[in-house]
Amino acid sequence: MKKEDIKQYFLTILQKEKDVSAGIAAIRTLMEILRKYSYKTIQGLDENLKMGVEAMQETNCPVAAINSGCELFRRFITFTKLDTETFDECKEIMLNRGHLFIKNLNEAKGKIAKRASQFIVDGSKVLTHSRSRVVLQTLKEAAKQNKQFEVFVTKSAPDNSGEKMCKDLKAANIPHTLILDSAVGYIMEQVDFVIVGAEAVVESGGVINKIGTYTMALCAKEMNRPFYVLTESFKFSRLFPLNQADLPDTYKYTPDMRKQDISKLNPLVDYTPPALITLLFTDLGILTPSAVSDELIKLYL
Amino acid sequence: MNQDKEKADQKVGGDGLTKKQRRALKVSAKTAGTSPNEILNNIHITNTKDIKKDVVFKSNENVKCPTQNKPQVVTVEKHFKSEPSEDKPSIDRTKNVDIKGELSKAEVRAQRRAIQEAQRLAKQQKTQEKIDKADEKKPQIVSKDKEKPKVEKKPKLKVAQKIIKPKETKVQLFSHLSVATKEKGSVVVEEVHPAFVRLGAQYASKTILGSNARCLALLSALKSLIESFESPPEQEFCRSLEVALQNCVNYLQIYRPIAVSMTNVLRYFKLVLAELKTNLQDIEKKNSLIKWIDDYMHDEIGKAGEAISMKVEGKISNGDTILTYGCSSLVLRILLEAHNKNKKQFRVIVVDANPLFEGKEMLRRLVNAGIECTYVLINAISFVMNKATKVLLGVHALLANGYVMSRIGTAQIALIAKTYSKPVLVCCETYKFCERVQTDSIVFNEIGDPNELIRPSEKKQADNVNAKLTHLNLMYDVTPPDLVTAVATELAILPCTSVPVILRIDLEKSKK
């Protein structure tokens, strides 16, 4: 597959299936590359996969999820002993492992929703930021259990994804209020806890998420409200930002934005340090921030 | 009958000595219990050839020790081949043990009695002196002999160091910690390799300072020990080597407590020693042990430093101002490589503190490399901290609960950095990770020479008030993990709390 084809394939998945996150779409694209790969060497295949990742990074989608998802996928499919006779057998094994990986990913959201929905009790007031599929599913799960609760959603500039979240909540019949980004401090004293999603979870146990998450976490800390993060484990990435400035530019800006003078631009994501996070709900279990690095060491070392 | 007796003399005990040799050693140890002059006298009195031959007094010139009160070392060596390159003329005595004068039991007994008599006399004289000058410090040596006559109540007796301190100048809270003073009395040493004798002096004088440097020096001393080691007849090589090594390590501990990195190395080395195949020739064993040491030096310290340097270099961006404390060989390496190889533009603030002033060395090397530097003392830390963008620190040891043990003062730096919300990056090779758990600097620490805290110009004045004043010169402190943003190791940049995970992985690896 050529670069253009890869990009095209990746973007069509995202356009056609609204429910699929960029990370999963990227992994499915890699599977497609693997399936269509016609040469006979493992090394060539690896080169091809790397090229695929590069191609996807050039699209205007969030890079964080693509990076971590792809890295984990490449590691997972090559983790087996590939000492079979022919390359085709090898490929078969890899494809099987790939399917298993995607199957696990699809189940992840359900697991998280099940775990996190227990924390929502009758009469809770929940604050969330932007639009996250996992958060939405968790709220729906809680509503399905006939729990009475209210959700505050920030409008979340610049793409106003909070409005979309409100639409989804309306469809699920969950009481909700849209608030301004600047009203986070005002509303914090009313809410019981904060739930957000994540684009990536880094080695320190902190998260990279839509800009404004850090502000929300700081407010929650000041008001002593629990701050929960819901995230799939494929978003764990081997990155250790020391502060906001230390975040890579590829994470903060889209390729289009990077062509301009970035010093004048607003970043799309920020980094929330682990000290501000109460718990992370993942498909591996409910983790404290410090446990993230343990899981990462298990995955990569 | 006579032949039988000779045979009995030839019998070699567990420590590779004949009965007679042991006896001679005991006597020599006892004689060494008094001051060197008295020993000479004693020997003169007893007039036995043995003792003179066995006990060699190392004159102070033999041990390189720049301090004024040099430790007097009395060594009795047996199993080491002489090393031509060593600058110690005293090695010729290796043969001495074999040449044995014939001594009957009665003679030996008489000789012992004479020595005891002389000691008793000397002690009585000393007590008289003590009454006269109560304040005078005079380290004295306790003889190993348990039957030693108890003349009177003595000040606190320290068996481990075989030294009596007439006056304790210790802070009560830290009385469980040993003090490393330069004013050591003579020490009786058996079977210590010359490389370790020199190492001890270098540790004591702090010419070798810093966790990595001390560990590397230990490893090279260990190498020369192995090279010149010959196992005594009818003894297994590894066993006898372990005993010899333990002797040497005990000797080192007199001068400075063993660093955590050194403990880790010694533990691994003993593990390797235990697992060495027994069917090999001694020379093969030696070679494989030396190869292991070389590999360890290369991988765990050299390569690890390189990997850390690469990782941290990515965290240094152009225009940064990096604050560092004291002199860490690893931090120095990182900064130099970032400047020389990667042409990063950054400034360095070197913070320094009394009494070691290690930062001066750091400053000198950084300035030589052409890096723009600022040098301040720790008193000014809050003034310079807001100008820094990142804090880079070296480590003595990383503890299992994520606490960072480092040169005293590091915790302050980290605390101020936290207050100014500057990221604190700690650089540490994984071989310095330690299973110990500690939350304060009191339970385990090292006390340096209290005299270092007094300026030479104020020495006289200080002596006058010393009766009521005790100095405390702690060497290390612990920094809680919430003050540290990240630890840069050769595996990855990790949060402090991941230390137990790495330790667990190491343990699993070593089990395999």
Q: How far apart are CA B302 and CA B294, in angstroms?
A: 11
Task: Name the residue range of residue B218's domain.
Answer: 200-313
Q: Identify whether residues B325 and B451 lie together within a single domain.
A: yes
Residue A208 CA from chain centroid, whole number? 9
Contact A203 B425 (CB under 8 A): no
Closest Cα of chain B to A292: distance in Å? 9
Question: What ipTM, to 2 d.p.?
Answer: 0.88
Query: For A145-157, b where at least 16 C-beta lie within 10 A, e where not — what string?
Result: eebebbbbbbbbb
Share of chain B above pLDDT 90, in %: 43
At residue B143 the predicted structure's pLDDT band, cuts being 50, 70 and 90, is: very low
Ramachandran region of residue A212, left (φ > 0), alpha (ψ -120 to 50) or beta? left
Q: How far is B423 from chain A (nearest CA, A)?
A: 6
Asked if the Cβ–Cβ distance from B494 to A240 is below 8 Å, we say: yes
Find chain A residues with C-beta within 8 A of B498's C-beta: 290, 293-294, 297
Using one digit for the tens of pLDDT, what is the confidence trace for B269-296?
999 998 888 888 888 999 999 999 999 9
Instruction: Yes or no: say if B228 and B77 are a contact pair by the CB < 8 Å rule.
Output: no
Measured distance CA(B455)–CA(B471) in Å, rounded: 12
* A157-211: pLDDT as tens digits: 899 999 999 999 999 999 999 999 999 999 999 999 999 999 999 999 999 999 9
Long-range contacts of A13-16 (CB under 8 A, 24+ apart): A14/A61
**B171 and B64 in one domain?**
yes
Same domain, B334 and B305: no
Rounded Cα distance between B44 and B55, Å, is 13
User: B237-255 pLDDT, tens per residue?
Assistant: 888 999 999 989 988 988 8
pLDDT digits (tens, 9 = 90+) for B187-219: 666 678 889 999 999 998 889 999 999 999 999
Among the residue ranges A89-98, A110-119, B59-68, B360-369, the one predicted with the least confidence is B59-68
**Which residues of B fall within a CB distance of 8 Å from A300?**
492
One domain, residues B342 and B303 = no
Instruction: Quote the CA–CA distance of B290 and B274 in Å, as a whole number.
Output: 15
Domain boundary, last residue among B253, B283, B313: B313
Amino acid at A142: A
Residues of A with CB under 8 A from a CB of B: 203-205, 238, 240, 242-243, 245-246, 274-275, 290, 293-294, 296-297, 300-301
Query: In a 10 Å sphere around its CB, with 0-12 CB exposed, 13-18 middle and 19+ buried, how is residue B401 labelled?
Result: middle
Same domain, B441 and B371: yes
Residue B6 has pLDDT above 70, yes or no: no
- Tell me what the mean pLDDT of segment A290-298 comes to: 90
Which residues in chain A have Cβ-Cβ distances shorter than 8 Å to B493?
Answer: 203, 240
Least CA distance to B314: which residue of chain A?
A246
Chain A residues near residue B317 by CB distance under 8 angstroms: 245-246
Query: Are B79 and B208 in the same domain?
Result: no
Tell me, yes or no, whether B398 and B501 share the same domain.
yes
The C-alpha of A97 sits at a distance from chain B's nearest C-alpha, in angstroms, of 26
Q: Where are the beta strands (DSSP E) in B182-319?
A: 187-190
Residues of A in contact with B489 (CB under 8 A): none
Q: pLDDT digit string (tens) for B314-357? A: 999 999 999 999 999 999 999 999 999 989 999 999 999 988 99
Do B147 and B219 fall within a single domain? no
Please check the confidence at residue A220 and state whether its pLDDT lies above 90: yes
- The count of residues in chain A is 301
Boundary of a domain, candidates B298, B313, B328: B313
Residue with the two structure tokens 């880094």: A202
A70 Cβ contact list (under 8 Å, min separation 6): A26, A27, A30, A49, A52, A53, A56
Sequential DSSP letters for A78-108: TSS----SSHHHHHHHHHHHHHHHHHHHHHH
Q: Are A251 and A63 within 8 A, CB to CB?
A: yes
Question: CA of B189 to nearest chain A CA: how many angstroms apart?
Answer: 46
Nearest CA in chain A to B422: A243
Distance from CA of B315 to the nearest CA of A (A): 7
B→A interface, C-beta within 8 Å: 315, 317, 390, 423, 425, 482, 485-486, 491-495, 497-498, 501-502, 505
Q: State the Cα–Cα distance between residues A98 and A122, nearest whole angstrom.
A: 40
Report residue A72's pLDDT band, with 50, 70 and 90 as the boundaries: confident
How does DSSP assign B202-225, residue by residue? Answer: HHHHTSS-SHHHHHHHHHHHHHHH
- Partner residue facing B494 (CB), from A242, A245, A293: A293
CB-count burial class (<10 Å; 0-12, 13-18, 19+) for B492 = buried
Instruction: Please give the DSSP secondary-structure letter assigned to residue B303.
Output: I
DSSP-derived 3-state class of residue B319: coil
CB contact under 8 A, A240 and B501: no
As given in the structure block, the two tokens for residue B436 are 């110990």
Eight-state DSSP code of residue A60: S
Confidence of residue B69 (pLDDT cuts 50, 70, 90): very low
Q: What is the mean pLDDT of residues B230-242?
A: 87
Assess whether pLDDT exceeds 70 at residue A221: yes
Could you say which of B133, B156, B191 is where a domain stops?
B191
Count structural domains, chain B. Answer: 3
Same domain? B175 vs B278 = no
B240 and B307, same domain (yes or no): yes
How many CB atoms neighbour CB B150 within 10 A? 6
Contact B308, B488 (CB under 8 A): yes
Q: Which residue has the tokens 């301004």?
A: A180
Give the number of residues written for chain B. 512
Query: Does B34 share its domain with B133?
Result: yes
B505: chain A residues, CB-CB within 8 Å: 297, 301
Predicted local distance difference test score (pLDDT) of residue A33: 87
Q: Would you call B502 and A275 a contact, using CB atoms and an 8 Å cutoff?
A: no
The pLDDT mean for chain A works out to 90
User: Is the pLDDT confidence value at B149 over 60?
Assistant: no
Longest CA–CA span in chain B (Å) reads 89
Compute and round to an integer the Cα radius of gyration of chain A: 20
Q: How far is A9 from chain B (nearest CA, A)?
A: 34
Q: How confident is the model at residue B139 (pLDDT cuts 50, 70, 90)?
A: very low
Q: How far is B201 from chain A (nearest CA, A)?
A: 41
**Which residues in B lie closer than 8 A to residue A238 (C-beta atoms)?**
492
Signed CA dihedral, B479, B484, B489, B491: sign only: positive
Judged by average pLDDT, the poorest of A142-156, A158-172, B47-61, B75-89 is B47-61
- Identify the residue with better confidence: A256 or B383: B383
CB contacts < 8 A (A, B): 48
Predicted pLDDT of residue A105: 87
Lowest mean pLDDT among A245-249, A289-293, B123-127: B123-127
Name the average pLDDT for chain B: 76
Chain B residue closest in CA terms to A241? B315
C-beta separation of B162 from B187 below 8 A = yes
> How many Å from the N-terminal Cα to the C-terminal Cα in chain B?
57
pLDDT tens figures, B303-319: 999 999 999 999 999 99
What pLDDT is attached to residue A289?
94
Q: How far apart are CA B372 and CA B344, in angstroms?
A: 12
Is residue B96 located within the same domain as residue B244? no
What domains, with CATH codes, occur in chain A? Answer: 3-106 (1.20.120.1070), 111-300 (3.40.50.10470)
Neighbours of B470 (CB within 10 A): 13
Residue B395 sits in a domain whose CATH number is 3.40.50.10470
Tokens of A9: 């394939």
Buried b (16+ CB within 10 A) or exposed e, A166-185: bebbeeeebebebbebeebe
Say if residue B90's pLDDT is above 50. Answer: no
